[in-house]
A and B are shown apart, each in its own frame.
Chain A
Amino acid sequence: MSTRLFKVWRGDKTGGQLVDYTVDVQDGMVVLDAIHQIQREQAHDLACRWNCKAAKCGSCSAEVNGKPRLMCKTRLDDFVEGQTITVQPMKAFPLIRDLVTDVSWNYTVNKKIPPFTPKPDTNWLMQQRDVDRSQEFRKCIECFLCQNVCHVLREHDLEDKFFGPRFLVRVASLEMHPLDSLDRTALLKDEGGIGLCNITKCCTEVCPEEIHITDNAIIPLKERVVDKYYDPIRIALRVLTGGGKK
């Protein structure tokens, strides 16, 4: 049986450090297995949030060798043999302890988004092709890796001006729903801060559900905002025809 050196962040908001642990490696092990082994055998008080260990609950988000990833979906054999594996908490969120961060800001943002609102007397029959787009976005497991890697939040701390990719995806799932009746374009432009996104696609790169966040959600929403606020011909036509309702 081989061993692997791990450096795991230990500490809380007052300070901390990377601590070395040597882990016995077995075939098929993922990083979360290693963290559990450390908890079981070396550091019983190591704090780590997890639940399903099947990449479906979105709980075990962390930064493995600097990359935002689900620990349960990161196999040890993805790394070069002998390479030290560093595990740190998500940088964009306030640290609670060790690998656990406070992601409650996300739920505050979620409440700002008007929910699905069907028209009165809706015919609930839908064609598959009309809901394909929303269904892609419904794959989101709310791991918040996209929020963590987004430089608007991570580097510039613009939480008060920007919803972040996760919630742009949620807005997209509602805006593109064939039976929804609301127009959230103004929300996107102002409170949602979609203009702050410079579409560098890091959110798409880290999404464990492989949702095309940038191309299928954010860019289409940006184009809808352009329709309403930046396209001079459309604005003129809308003024002339009195249009604009969804």
Chain B
Amino acid sequence: MSDSTSVLDRKGLGVTSRHDTWWLSPLLVFLGLVAFGVYSTWAAWQGTNYLYTGHGADYLSPFYSPDVHSLLGIDVPFSYAFLILWIPLGFRATCYYYRKSYYRAFFLSPAACAVGEPAGRKYKGETAFPFILQNIHRYFWYLATIVVAFLWYDAIRAFFFTGKAGNIHFGVGLGTLIMLFNVIALTGFSFGCNSLRHLVGGKLDCFSCSATARARYKLWGGVTILNLRHMEWAWVSLFSVGFTDLYIRLCAMGIWHDVRIIH
């Protein structure tokens, strides 16, 4: 007989019989989200170097889009990023994928499957404040879609450069491609949203019962295709939005030089 230790009756943080590296995934998620959180907070506080206009380019950081200052002509005593960032922050914070990620990585609830949680917590899930607010995810999707529309506008604008004579001409810089990649990633993430999947058709019980239902079935199928890779879209878009800001910021600071691919 071996030792009498068993986890059958024991509970508590980390109690498990798993032999694999169950802690690795939540650790990577923790590090990834903390890294993005630290960088995005720092970038948002800066309030400068979010627009690169060197050599006729027109690159706007996604952290500062839409450009509220230019659009509305208003001045605020803090960084303009704070007028924008609560929308994507709220969208990601209430996203079903991110919920899974941070419940595991930050709240250890649970850190991994069949792994014990911190003892003594009264668990209420998403039935009480603050997590009951996760139910407004669809409203953040509506707002985030407006932001994504502005990012498409920014990406298209990045294809047009101002010449020395003041003329506008088509061109492609490395920044253009980065901004385009970023907005595609953000669109893939936003339009694979579980709430959207429900709203466009998932709520129906019958997909064949009317012409509208049949059209909504097709939309539901399209969102489902993106939704199957929602986690991948979430991470790719998170890092692409951070890197896009970094690229534009370093170009604006003169540290990096935008490579022009098509003049």
Contact = CB atoms under 8 A, between A and B. Distances in A.
B123 A66 contact: no
Interface stretch (A22-30, A34-42, A48-56, A147-155): A147-155
Contacts of B1: 17-20
Interface in B1-59: 1-8, 11, 16-20
A18 B6 contact: yes
Given A89-B8, A95-B8, A226-B138, A68 B114 contact: yes
A19 B1 CA distance: 5
Nearest to A154: B114
Given A63-B17, A156-B123, A202-B110, A223 B202 contact: yes
Interface string B201-227: 011011111000000010000000001
Contact of B207 (A129, A195, A225): A129
Interface stretch (A108-116, A136-144, A175-183, A236-244): A175-183
Contacts of A83: 19
Interface residues of B, number: 49
Nearest to A125: B208
A49 to B, nearest CB: 17
B11 A155 contact: yes
Contact of A16 (B6, B7, B99): B6
B195 interface: yes
B6 A178 contact: no
B16 to A, nearest CB: 5
Interface stretch (B60-68, B74-82, B124-132, B179-187): B124-132
Contact of A223 (B2, B100, B117, B195): B195
Interface string B100-121: 1001100001100110110000
A96 interface: no
A92 to B, nearest CB: 10
Interface string A106-130: 0000000000000000000001011
A226 B205 contact: no
Contact of B127 (A154, A156, A176, A196): A196
Given A200-B100, A206-B113, A195 B198 contact: no
Chain B binding surface SS class: loop
Interface string A1-20: 00000010100000011111
B205 A176 contact: yes
A165 to B, nearest CB: 12
Contacts of B127: 193, 195-196
A151 B109 contact: yes
Contact of A65 (B17, B104, B124): B17
A244 to B, nearest CB: 14
Given A9-B6, A178-B209, A195 B126 contact: yes
Residue of B109, B131, B206, B209 most packed against chain A (CB within 10 A): B206
A178 B5 contact: no
Interface in A161-182: 175-178, 180
B217 A230 contact: no
Contacts of A223: 138, 194-195, 198-199, 202-203
A118 to B, nearest CB: 12
Given A65-B17, A129-B207, A156-B123, A199 B202 contact: no
B121 to A, nearest CB: 8
A230 B114 CA distance: 31
A231 interface: yes
State the 7 A-B residue pairs at the shortest beta-carbon distance, nearest first.
A66-B17, A66-B18, A223-B198, A196-B125, A202-B113, A195-B127, A230-B135
17 contacts: A18-B5, A19-B1, A63-B114, A67-B18, A88-B7, A129-B207, A151-B109, A155-B11, A198-B125, A199-B103, A220-B197, A222-B135, A223-B194, A223-B195, A224-B198, A226-B138, A230-B132
Given A63-B114, A200-B109, 15 more contacts: A20-B2, A68-B114, A89-B8, A129-B208, A178-B206, A180-B205, A196-B126, A198-B99, A200-B110, A202-B114, A206-B113, A215-B194, A220-B202, A222-B135, A230-B132
